[in-house]
């Protein structure tokens, strides 16, 4: 993969991508703020959800054991995977034991994390994404660029072109209903033929052994109802004690993600087809995936990220994500939450670079419905990283000088005066920075001088009223 810096430049230099992102982000943000009509109620739900989710790191071992017991009691087979390779092996064993050749997938970020599709194809098993966005991304041989809306980097014309090429259909770029109709037709056949249906898990209730799936399209329901075998993959952090907090979690999740009061479907699965039932999967498997999450639980600075409900609000509100989109991050989870958890989940030193893609504006922390202080975490991780690096004497000197100037009014005034000497200010900016930018011209008067002049003027003019 090209370095992060180059991926950023590549994204910024693609005008179509920037306009697609802008449109999608404006849409998601305005829908979210419109959906929070009753702020007092929002706060109530936020309190309940925050308490439940932040207690998680401490309760995880008990809750996971309880979930295993309850699921087993309900007839769901539970498997444990320490990492991505474990999870892939477990999946393949189940598939091979049932001679499965075709898999249909509902949306699942955990399955993206373990790169399930590539693995299955290597073993001669066809794996088809059935969420419309994921289907588009798979047809284009790409990865999702957003955790909720995987294909938001593409516009209607690009999608119609893709359907024409890959599906041999006469797709009309101006007619979204027709485009969706094509997807529906192609995927219905896949649902019918599939041996295994895959899903993620939004929440798993330990007490009752219930898997909760949230969706709008119905593809999640089809994946978990039509094939003979359903395999659900969940990160260990998806567990909740029981269903009592679910209304609050759903209230926050759907509003934060897409600005909906509730999704079209909330699907609660507590087991396979019963002996007297006529449909539903004959077996249900749950793969519980760690893949770095237990080391997050062990790190006091990061443990709170396990409270995340994967709504995507932090990326929708991040000025950096809005400009570069999800692909530039090169991780399963992009945006602010991805910057914090990816070094642990995806491994590799290179992900530390992601921490630079932040202006510390704090919007992600503000938007987070379960009070994860992402800005503090990013700052803390930057601290840790710079502590581990050799000292930059030049940088240190600059900041020492900056502090001295801002602590002394006289020194500050003197510096302001000097900055206005032509030619001198431009020396202060690093040449690399001014190569592509004009160095800023200092104003004729300082802010101090302007305020002083205004105060004098107001005092002289008794007619003046402050509004």
Partner 1 sequence: MNTNSQNAREKILERLRLASRAAARKKPDIQKKERISIQDNPLSKPLSLRDQLQKNRFEVIVVRNETLPQILSAIVEEIDESRPLSWLLGNGAVNNSIVDHLQKIDRQTAHQFDQPFETLKDSIFNDIDIGLTHCESVIKNTGTLVIQPSADEPRTLSLIPPIHVIIANKAVVFDSLDGYFAQEIELSLIEHSNLIFVSSPSKTADIQQKLAYGAHGPKRVIVVLSDQQLNEE
Site for partner 1 in 146-205 (CB under 8 A): 149-152, 154-156, 159, 176-177, 179-181, 183-184, 187-188, 191-192
Residue 360 touching partner 1 (CB under 8 A): no
Calculate the alpha carbon distances from 135 to 119, 147, 202 in Å. Answer: 17, 14, 20
Residue from 1, 13, 15, 38 touching partner 1 (CB under 8 A): that is 38
Residue 303 touching partner 1 (CB under 8 A): yes
Residue 222 touching partner 1 (CB under 8 A): yes
**Binding span for partner 1 by CB under 8 A among 124-132, 390-398, 425-433, 444-452:** 124-132
Residue 74 touching partner 1 (CB under 8 A): yes
Residue 279 touching partner 1 (CB under 8 A): yes
What is the SS3 assignment for 356-374?
HCCCCCCHHHHHCCCCCCH
Residue 27 touching partner 1 (CB under 8 A): yes
Residue 276 touching partner 1 (CB under 8 A): yes
Of 55, 48, 52, 66, the C-alpha closest to 206 is 66
d(Cα 24, Cα 74) in Å, to the nearest integer? 41
Of 232, 206, 202, the C-alpha closest to 60 is 206
Residue from 64, 232, 253, 309 touching partner 1 (CB under 8 A): that is 64
Of 181, 187, 180, 139, the C-alpha closest to 162 is 139
Residue 98 touching partner 1 (CB under 8 A): no
Residue from 3, 41, 402, 448 touching partner 1 (CB under 8 A): that is 41
Residue 132 touching partner 1 (CB under 8 A): yes
Of 427, 371, 347, the C-alpha closest to 55 is 371
| DSSP count for the chain of H helices, then E strands | 23, 10
**Binding span for partner 1 by CB under 8 A among 128-136, 325-333, 389-397, 416-424:** 128-136
Residue 221 touching partner 1 (CB under 8 A): yes
DSSP state of 110: H
Q: Nearest 5°: CA angle at 104, between 100 and 109? A: 120
**Closer residue to partner 1, CB minimum distance, 9 or 262:** 262
Residue from 3, 16, 22, 37 touching partner 1 (CB under 8 A): that is 37
Cβ pair 289, 231 in contact under 8 A: no
**Closer residue to partner 1, CB minimum distance, 149 or 308:** 149
Residue 258 touching partner 1 (CB under 8 A): yes
Q: What strands, in cross-sheet order, belong to the sheet with 76-81?
A: 76-81, 283-289, 229-235, 196-199, 102-105, 126-129
**Closer residue to partner 1, CB minimum distance, 246 or 357:** 246
Number of residues that bind partner 1 (CB under 8 A): 109
**Closer residue to partner 1, CB minimum distance, 13 or 277:** 277
Q: Which residues contact 300 (CB under 8 A, 6 or more apart)?
A: none
Residue 50 touching partner 1 (CB under 8 A): yes
């Amino acid at each position: 993969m090209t370095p992060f810096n180059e991926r950023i430049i590549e994204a910024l230099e693609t005008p179509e991508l920037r306009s697609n992102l802008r449109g999608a982000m404006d849409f998601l943000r305005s829908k979210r703020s419109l959906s929070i009509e009753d702020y007092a109620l929002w706060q109530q739900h936020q309190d309940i959800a925050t308490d439940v989710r932040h207690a998680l790191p401490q309760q995880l071992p008990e809750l996971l054991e309880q979930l295993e017991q309850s699921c087993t009691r309900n007839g769901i087979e539970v498997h444990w995977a320490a990492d991505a390779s474990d999870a892939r092996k477990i999946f393949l064993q189940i598939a091979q034991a049932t001679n499965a050749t075709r898999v249909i997938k509902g949306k699942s970020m955990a399955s993206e994390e373990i790169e399930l599709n590539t693995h299955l194809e290597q073993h001669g098993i066809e794996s088809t994404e059935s969420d419309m966005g994921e289907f588009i991304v798979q047809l284009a041989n790409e990865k999702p660029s957003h955790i909720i809306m995987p294909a938001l980097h593409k516009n209607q014309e690009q999608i119609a072109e893709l359907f024409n090429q890959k599906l041999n259909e006469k797709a009309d770029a101006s007619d979204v209903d027709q485009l969706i109709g094509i997807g529906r037709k192609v995927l219905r056949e896949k649902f019918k033929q599939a041996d295994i249906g895959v899903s993620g898990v939004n929440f798993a209730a330990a007490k009752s052994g219930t898997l909760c799936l949230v969706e709008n399209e119905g593809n999640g329901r089809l994946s978990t109802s039509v094939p003979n075998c359903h395999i659900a993959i969940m990160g260990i952090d998806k567990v909740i004690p029981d269903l009592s907090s679910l209304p609050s979690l759903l209230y926050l999740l759907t509003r934060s993600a897409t600005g909906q009061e509730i999704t079209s479907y909330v699907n609660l699965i507590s087991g396979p087809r019963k002996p007297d039932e006529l449909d539903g999967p004959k077996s249900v498997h749950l793969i519980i995936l760690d893949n770095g999450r237990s080391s997050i639980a062990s790190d006091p600075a990061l443990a709170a990220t396990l409270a995340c409900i994967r709504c995507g609000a932090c990326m929708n509100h991040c000025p950096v994500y809005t400009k570069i989109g999800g692909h530039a991050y090169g991780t399963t989870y992009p945006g602010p939450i991805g910057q914090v958890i990816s070094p642990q989940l995806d491994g590799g030193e290179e992900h530390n670079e992601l921490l630079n893609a932040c202006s510390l504006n704090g919007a992600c922390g503000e938007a987070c419905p379960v009070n994860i202080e992402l800005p503090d975490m990013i700052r803390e991780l930057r601290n840790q990283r710079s502590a581990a690096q050799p000292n930059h004497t030049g940088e240190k000197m600059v900041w020492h000088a900056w502090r001295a100037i801002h602590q002394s009014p006289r020194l500050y005034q003197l510096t302001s005066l000097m900055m206005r000497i032509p030619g001198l200010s431009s020396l202060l900016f690093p040449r690399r920075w001014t190569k592509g930018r004009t160095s800023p011209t200092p104003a004729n008067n300082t802010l101090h001088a302007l305020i002083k002049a205004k105060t004098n003027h107001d005092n002289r003019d008794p007619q003046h009223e402050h509004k």
